[in-house]
Amino acid sequence: MAIKTGTVIKSVGGVFTVGNETGKYVCFAPKKIRYFDLDVVVGDKVRFEELKHGKGVVVEVLPRKNKLARPEIANVDVCFVVLACEPQADFYLCDKVLINCFQEQIEPVIVVNKSDIASQLLDEVEDNYRDLADIVSVSAMNDSVKKLATYIDNGKLGCFAGQSAVGKTSILNAMSEETVGATGGISQKSGRGVHTTRYSSLHKVAGGFLADTCGFSLCELHDIRSDELRLYLDDFVTVAHDCRFSSCTHTVEPDCAVISAVQKGKISANRYKRYVEEYNELKESEKNRY
Ligand SMILES: Nc1nc2c(ncn2[C@@H]2O[C@H](COP(=O)(O)OP(=O)(O)O)[C@@H](O)[C@H]2O)c(=O)[nH]1
Ligand SMILES: [Mg+2]
Ligand SMILES: [Zn+2]
């Protein structure tokens, strides 16, 4: 039968839902390949052999523009990094997601959700990240989420990233015509999420596509050397030409322009402190590797 092309909109336990203009297909890995050997993630463009009854077999994963590991998704244009006052925002996690995005040429947008609850979070986020990413304050409880639509117009693919219960699914639902995902919170009894999103799924929203994703509280930096980390931080790069050494890592060197910008309050002291920790972590893991 015919070979067709489509986008993976859901992937659960070896069953891939692939969508294109003509419909949705339930696709499997070829018989000779076990599904976990087939590297297919949501967002992938695939070629599949159409079988009867809306089924198919994936025959090829087309080249990817990019891929994130957390959340695991491919061909992303914009990543909405969602933070909220509840659960408490984890800025280390946010730093790492931003770096992963910069490495993969994905535009990160920091979404400060739950603006209906009074908190200092927006000020803190602006202090930390204003020079690195757009920051949008929203509440999934009202129309403010519409501000996010412009980022995914013209068929762009946006994904959510963030801890569980920050409101990713709620924002998606508020932006969609219909309710697409079950939302939850933290169960008082078990301390675990109720209706936690367990797999990524792609939805047609506004003028583009949005991927709901599973929450995560750990994120690693990949394929990045300690002495490269600073190059992804635009505000560091801007002042770094005044450092005495062109190879300055902005940690221990004398006459460091980044350190003096931090002292003058031009670069967030908190983010700088985390940078030094993240730098040392990378350095430590390099020692163990070589
Ligand atoms: N007050 C308030 N609660 C919200 C908002 N967005 C989400 N929530 C609540 O936060 C909990 C977690 O939401 P959910 O969308 O499941 O979070 P997810 O795990 O990030 O997908 C639910 O109880 C939501 O009703 C918001 O903007 N304001
Ligand atoms: Mg969710
Ligand atoms: Zn320096």
pLDDT digit string, tens, across residues 28-83: 988 877 766 778 999 999 999 999 999 999 999 999 999 999 999 999 999 999 99
> Same domain for 155 and 253?
no
Closest CA to ligand 1's atom 7: 167
Neighbours of 29 (CB within 10 A): 18
> Same domain for 166 and 108?
yes
Q: What is the pTM of this model?
A: 0.94
Residue 33: predicted pLDDT: 73
Instruction: Tell me the pLDDT band of 212, cut-offs 50, 70 and 90.
Output: very high
> Same domain for 87 and 124?
yes
In short, whether 164's Cβ falls inside 6 Å of ligand 1 is: yes
For the chain, what is the domain count?
Answer: 3
In short, whether 201's Cβ falls inside 6 Å of ligand 1 is: no
- Among the bound ligands, the one closest to the CA of 247: 3
Is 176 domain-assigned? yes
Separation between Cα atoms, residue 164 and residue 160, nearest integer Å: 11
In short, whether 168's Cβ falls inside 6 Å of ligand 1 is: yes
Which pLDDT tens digit goes with each residue over 106-139? 999 999 999 999 999 999 999 999 999 999 999 9
Q: Taking all residues of the chain, what is their mean pLDDT, rounded to a whole number?
A: 92
Residue 290: predicted pLDDT: 65
Is 220 domain-assigned? no
Atom of ligand 1 nearest to the CA of 142: 27
Which pLDDT tens digit goes with each residue over 182-199? 776 555 555 555 667 788
Is 50 domain-assigned? yes
H/E stretch holding 127 reads: helix 121-129
Domain of 241, in residue numbers: 226-289
Give the least confident one: 80-94, 182-196, 197-211: 182-196
Residue type, 227: D
Residue 1: predicted pLDDT: 72
> Same domain for 95 and 170?
yes
In short, whether 166's Cβ falls inside 6 Å of ligand 1 is: yes
> Same domain for 129 and 48?
no
> Same domain for 77 and 151?
yes
Residue 270: predicted pLDDT: 97
Separation between Cα atoms, residue 203 and residue 210, nearest integer Å: 5
In short, whether 116's Cβ falls inside 6 Å of ligand 1 is: yes
Length of the chain measured in residues: 290
Residue 192: predicted pLDDT: 52
Over residues 81-95, mean pLDDT: 97
**The two structure tokens encoding residue 70:** 């957390």
Residue 180: predicted pLDDT: 74
Is 218 domain-assigned? no
CATH of the domain at 75: 3.40.50.300
Residue 36: predicted pLDDT: 65
Helices and strands (H, E) in the chain, number of each type:
6, 15
Which pLDDT tens digit goes with each residue over 230-277? 999 999 999 999 999 999 999 999 999 999 999 999 999 999 999 999
